[in-house]
Amino acid sequence: MNPNQASSLQCALLLFTLLVSGCTEKKVDSRTKDFALIKKLVPYDVTMEAPMQGDWLFEHKEQGQNFEQYAKSAPVSPNASQKNIYLQPIGIFNEREDKIIHYTAEYLEIFFDLKTIVLPAVSDSIIPGTARRTREEGYEQLLTGYILDSVIAKSIPKDAIVVMGITQKDLYPAEAWNFVFGQARLKKRVGVSSFVRFHEGELSADNFDLCLERFIKTSAHEIGHMFSFKHCTHAVCVMNGSNSLYETDERPNRLCSECLKKLYWNLGFDVKTRMLALQAYFKKHKLTRDYDLQTRDLGL
């Protein structure tokens, strides 16, 4: 190599170093800005009340999961080839029920800042009699474990990071349980949720908004589990466990600051942009309580 070539190579290396340094510095500055914004939300965290008999934390003595524990857990995380959320309807859905599914997809795309795709529905006849039961009241329930491991896990799209099944039938995780609103695997990227308990009687114009409010909350919760979130015990949060519809209704469609920090660290969205999009969604779908909370958060 002659002196002129050596000099050119040194200049090229210096330029490359400066470019990489500048990009890294810009990325660090952006992350610092967003972490600082999340820190401003800490005063809005609502302390959880002591659990009473029948509450989730009364029955399940969970310790929660802080940011450091989450970061060390090697959580499920999107990558270049697996970066989409898929929803798999299971069963037959009427026009109004189909809207619940697609409005939920719209919400999840904002909540996780990941493209969310609704797959064509499959018949629930694929679930055998050994994974079903009929309660004394006459309604049928489907076994979550079979759906997760023998239906969804066996047909995950190649570009999916997580897949959630959706059914209008009731769910149960084991013989000893009465029901669950949903269930997910922390590492296997699959989950399932039902909205049958989120409306009294037939789904109608009168109870549609309430059903949507409840189901987007449950869907975000279950997909949070699929991104390796454990139940939150830090503050009132959409990631709190729930034993009843009452407990579910008490929780907002909002992550506490600790869980938002975990989600941002994993997915890397623009925090302010996400907040504005959530606010617009809540306004569009007339979800007043969640709109008011998001508007308050944006006031910082």
Catalytic residues: 222
Beta carbons of 90 and 151 less than 8 angstroms apart: yes
CB 259 within 8 A of CB 224: yes
Encoding tokens for residue 299? 């006031």
For residue 234, CA distances in Å to 193, 205, 258, 262, 293 come to 24, 36, 7, 13, 18
CA dist., res. 159 & res. 90, Å (int): 20
The C-alpha atoms of residue 285 and residue 282 are separated, in whole angstroms, by 5
Confirm if 111 and 220 have CB atoms less than 8 A apart. yes
- With vertex at residue 52, the alpha carbon angle to CA 50 and CA 57, rounded to the nearest 5 degrees, is 70
Sort strands 84-90 and 182-184 into parallel, antiparallel or unpaired.
unpaired
